Each structure stands twice: as structure tokens, then as C-alpha cells.
Amino acid sequence: MVVRFYVEHAGNHQLYLRSGFGSLMSGSSNQYCSSEFNYYHYSGKYIRVGLMDQWVHFQVYCKYRQDGTGEYAGWINDDLVYHKTGLINDPRGYSEWNSKNCKFAVTTVPWIVTNLYQAMDSPSHSVYIDDCVGAYEKVPEDYGVVYP
């Protein structure tokens, strides 16, 4: 399962939280190993209206579970965008896991990726990232990274 923030391409560029669990392919037979799903949760916050030229605090939380107790949440500037519970979001919880020889990369630490995807013919854009933190609990908006 992936939980991440996106910016709407048109208009005032609304921010939204997208979560998804793509169809996994088995290692040997290329069969689907799980049902694909995607959820889009619009925040009501816009880059061009109120968030331009300032730091914005994004935070996501995901608790992976096989038994239907998984959950995820996302915040922008400490305002909750969405919180979903009652999920099987660890693929090993699906019946196809063993029968179709499925595989996925299991990690024991938060995996953080930042990207700026844009079309080749789009005008240049910049994204500045400061104090990127991986944690097992919600980090306060005024959290400061202390360097040794």
C-alpha cells in the first residue's frame, strides 16, 4: 500500500491524498495476486490559493495489517485530510498470497520518497524540502530536526 500527496494538474492545484494497493504480480506466472484499489481524498487546500510561497507540512501515517485492522491517515499543516481504518493493507493477508507465489518488498523502517513528476513540455518548477523525517508516531508541526 502506498499513501502519498498529489497536486491536481489544473485550476488552482488542489492537494489530495491518494492511497492505493496495486495489483501484485506473482513471481513466476504473472497472475494478479490482489485486487487493485485507489482512493482519492481531496483536501480543500490549494497551492495557488493560500499555500503559495510558504512552507507546507505534509504528513502520512500507515499501519500495515493482515487482519483487517490496517489504517492510514494524512495531514497538511496539521489539518487531517483523511483517516481510513479497517483495511487489509499488508498483501500477505490476501488468500492469493500463498496460492499464487506472490512477493513484495517488506521493510522495517519508514520509506520516504519525494518526487516532482511533470510533463516534458511543462514549464520548470521547483520543490524545496526541509527536515524530512521518518517516524513511527505523528510528528508535531513544530518538530525541529536537531543535527549532531
Per-residue pLDDT of the chain (148 residues; tens, 9 = 90+): 778 888 887 788 888 888 876 554 444 444 445 555 678 899 999 888 888 888 888 888 888 888 889 888 999 988 999 999 998 877 777 777 767 666 666 666 666 777 666 666 666 666 667 777 777 777 787 777 666 6
46 in a structural domain:
yes
* Structural domain that includes position 78: 2-99
127 in a structural domain:
no
User: Residue 26 contacts by C-beta under 8 Å, 6 or more apart in sequence?
Assistant: 33, 100, 101, 102, 103
64 in a structural domain:
yes
Dihedral angle, C-alpha 117, 43, 139, 19, nearest 10 °: -60
Domain count within the chain: 1
- Long-range contacts, stretch 36-40, CB < 8 angstroms, 24+ apart: 39/84, 40/16
pTM for the structure as a whole:
0.72
65 in a structural domain:
yes
60 in a structural domain:
yes
95 in a structural domain:
yes
